[in-house]
């Protein structure tokens, strides 16, 4: 899931201030905490109040989209009535906001949220946590299933660093566990300290250079081979 956080209401309002009629689009996709129809409606009411304090009237409509990051779903849901509005305010993650701008390209879509990371939910301890940063070169087979790239503040391949105190990380005031101590504990448990001792060479950042791009069909067709034959 994509972990997001609502922007400050003043910041959201500043973005839509030039417009008097807006469409507020929730997203039923993977962004957490959920930002669906109800959240869109509440945001509309708040913005309406905010506009009223400035002596303005804001017309809004709340909808929700199954997944804003899917071009076909976003287009079929919003296109039929989007043009009635001057701007769209999206409650999706950054991916959804970009996709809405692409499929409804005659109206600007603004982000109501900040997107933080791809993470998981730890309900018992009440937090979201980043377990993977999509580096393009998965090494957790060597690290006991704990990712040192997403889990270590310094992204070390050969930790821990000197900032580890009593198993905790110097970043964040020693409140979060050191990923490398977790890795050591896991590998020790399975009697695989040989993996811990192993030296890991420098990371290949070409694998995660922005913008990420992968051909969807590349691995399922022989089109490319055919092209090469033609040449």
Question: Which residues make up the interface to other proteins (CB under 8 A)?
Answer: 153-167, 170-172, 180-181, 184, 188, 193, 196-199, 201-203, 205
**Shortest Cβ 9–other proteins spacing (Å):** 23
What distance lies between CA 125 and its chain's CA centroid?
Answer: 21
The CB-of-197 to other proteins minimum distance in angstroms stands at 5
Minimum CB distance to other proteins smaller for 57 or for 197: 197
CB nearer to other proteins: give 134 or 171.
Answer: 171
Least Å distance, CB 140 to other proteins, is 17
Sequence-distant (≥ 6) Cβ neighbours of residue 73 within 8 angstroms: 65, 66, 67
Q: How far apart are CA 188 and CA 183, in angstroms?
A: 8
**What is the smallest separation between the CB atom of 4 and other proteins, expressed in angstroms?**
21
Q: Measured from the CB atom, is 55 or 202 closer to other proteins?
A: 202
Cβ distance to other proteins smaller for residue 21 or 154:
154
On whether the CB atoms of residues 94 and 87 are closer than 8 A, the answer is no
Q: Shortest Cβ distance from residue 201 to other proteins (Å)?
A: 7
Kindly state the smallest distance separating residue 153's Cβ from other proteins, in Å: 6
Q: At CA 23, angle to CA 17 and CA 27, rounded to 5? A: 120
Closer to other proteins by CB, 26 or 148: give it.
148
Q: Which residue lies nearer to other proteins by CB, 49 or 171? A: 171
Name the CA dihedral angle for 73, 77, 79, 81, rounded to a multiple of 10 degrees.
Answer: -170
Burial of 59 (0-12, 13-18, 19+ CB in 10 A): middle
């Amino acid at each position: 899931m994509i972990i997001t956080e609502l922007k400050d209401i003043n910041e959201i309002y500043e973005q839509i201030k030039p417009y008097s009629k807006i469409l507020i689009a929730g997203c039923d996709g993977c962004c957490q905490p959920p930002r669906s129809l109800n959240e869109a409606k509440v945001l509309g009411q708040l913005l309406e109040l905010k506009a009223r304090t400035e002596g303005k009237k804001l017309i809004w409509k709340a909808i929700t989209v199954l997944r804003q990051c899917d071009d076909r779903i976003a287009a079929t849901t919003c296109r039929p009535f989007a043009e009635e509005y001057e701007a769209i305010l999206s409650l999706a993650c950054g991916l959804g906001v970009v996709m809405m701008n692409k499929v409804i390209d005659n109206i600007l879509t603004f982000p109501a949220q900040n997107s933080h990371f791809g993470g998981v939910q730890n309900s018992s301890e009440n937090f979201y946590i980043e377990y993977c940063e999509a580096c393009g070169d998965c090494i957790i087979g060597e690290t006991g299933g704990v990712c040192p790239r997403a889990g270590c503040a310094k992204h070390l391949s050969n930790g821990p660093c000197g900032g580890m105190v009593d198993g905790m990380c110097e970043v964040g005031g020693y409140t979060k566990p050191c990923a490398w101590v977790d890795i050591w504990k896991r590998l020790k448990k399975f009697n695989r300290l040989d993996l811990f001792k192993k030296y890991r060479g420098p990371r290949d950042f070409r694998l995660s250079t922005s913008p990420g791009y992968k051909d969807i069909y590349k691995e399922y067709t022989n089109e490319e081979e055919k092209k090469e034959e033609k040449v």
